[in-house]
Amino acid sequence: MNWLWGQVPEGVGSHDLEVHLCFVDNVVKSVDLEAGLELLSDAERLRVDNMLSPVDRVLRAARFARRRQLLAEYLGIDPFNVKVTYDERGRPETSGDCRFSCSYAGEVFVMALTRGRDIGVDVEKIRNFAEGKLLTRHLSALEIGTLKTMPEHDAVFAASRIWTRKEAYAKARGIGFSLEPRDIVVATSPHPLNWSGRPHGDEHPWCLQDIDGLATDIVITLAVPTYYPSTCLSVSVRRVQ
C-alpha cells in the first residue's frame, strides 16, 4: 500500500492546532551535565551506560536531561516529577494529554510538544540522500523518478526533505518503519511544505509541515494527525540555549 500525500482541497475549513517546537543548536553545551545526570531516571541512566562510545554517552545523557527539562517547563512541574515511559513500539510517552517527539542530528536536538494529538518530528543534516542505499531501498519509484528530473542542488534538498517527512509521519503514527519507507510516498518538492490532507489508506487526515530558518545545513519536518479535512497548524518555535 502506498501512503500518498495529495493536495489541499479548495474551500475546506480549517481548525487550529498548536505545536511547540524547541530547537537546540548544541545539546551538550545547553545543559549542565553533572546536574542533568541527577535528573535522569534509573532506566535513562541504564540507556546512557549502554552506549559504547564515551561521546555517545555524553550526547545521550544531554538529550535525556534536556528532554526532561523541556517537558517539565511545558507541564509546569519539577523535572524530577516528569515520568517518561515507552509504549510497546518503543515510543516515549508522558502522563496526561501531553504528546511529544524528539529527534537529533549530531549535537542538534529538536523536540515537538502538543496536547491530545500524536506528533512526530524529524531533523536531518542536508546530505546527498539521492545516492546510495536510501535511493534504492527506501524511496518509492515515484520519488526516485522525480528526483532524477531535478538539478543536483534541488535533488539534494528534496531527498533530505523526503526522508524527514517519512520519518516524522512514521514516528507520529508510532509505527517506526514497520511500514516500508518506500511505501510512504510524500511530496518531493525541495521547498518547504505545509500540507494538510488524507494519505491514501489512512483513517485520519494529517498535517505535514517543514520548518525552515533555524540553520542552513538541516531540514526539519513536523507531522500531526488533524482529525479534520484540513487544519491550521500554529507552530511556536523556541531556540533553546
Tell which wins on pLDDT, 4 or 118.
Answer: 118
Whether residue 220 contacts residue 210, with contact meaning beta carbons closer than 8 Å, is answered with yes
Answer for the pair 144, 102: CB distance below 8 angstroms, yes or no: no
Identify the top-confidence range among 15-29, 53-67, 146-160, 225-239: 53-67
- Rounded Cα gap, residues 181 and 118, in angstroms: 19
Question: Does residue 238 carry a pLDDT above 90?
Answer: yes
At residue 231, the pLDDT reads 59
Band the pLDDT of 177: cuts 50, 70, 90. Answer: low
Q: With 0-12 CB in 10 A as exposed, 13-18 as middle and 19+ as buried, what is 201?
A: exposed
Cell of 219: 531540514
- Model confidence over 46-98: pLDDT tens digits? 999 999 999 999 999 999 999 999 999 999 999 999 999 988 878 899 988 89
Q: What is the pLDDT of residues 211-234, one digit of tens each?
A: 988 998 999 999 988 765 555 678
Ramachandran category for residue 54: left, alpha or beta (phi over 0 → left; psi -120 to 50 → alpha): alpha
Dump the DSSP string for the chain.
Answer: --EE---PPTT----EEEEEEEEES-TTTTS-HHHHHHHS-HHHHHHHHT-SSHHHHHHHHHHHHHHHHHHHHHHTS-GGG--EEE-TTS-EEESTTEEEEEEEETTEEEEEEEESS--EEEEEE---TTSSHHHHHTS-HHHHHHHHTS-HHHHHHHHHHHHHHHHHHHHHHT-TTSS-GGGEE----SS--EEEE--TT-SS-EEEEEE-SS-TTEEEEEEEE-SSSS-EEEEEEEEE-
Q: What count of Cα atoms within 13 Å lies in the side-chain half-sphere of residue 16?
A: 4
Domain at 3-31+97-240, CATH class: alpha beta
pLDDT in the model for residue 119: 93
pTM exceeds 0.85, yes or no? yes
Kindly tell me the sign of the dihedral angle through the C-alpha atoms of 165, 91, 173, 208. negative
pLDDT at 8: 40
Where are the domains positioned within the chain?
3-31+97-240
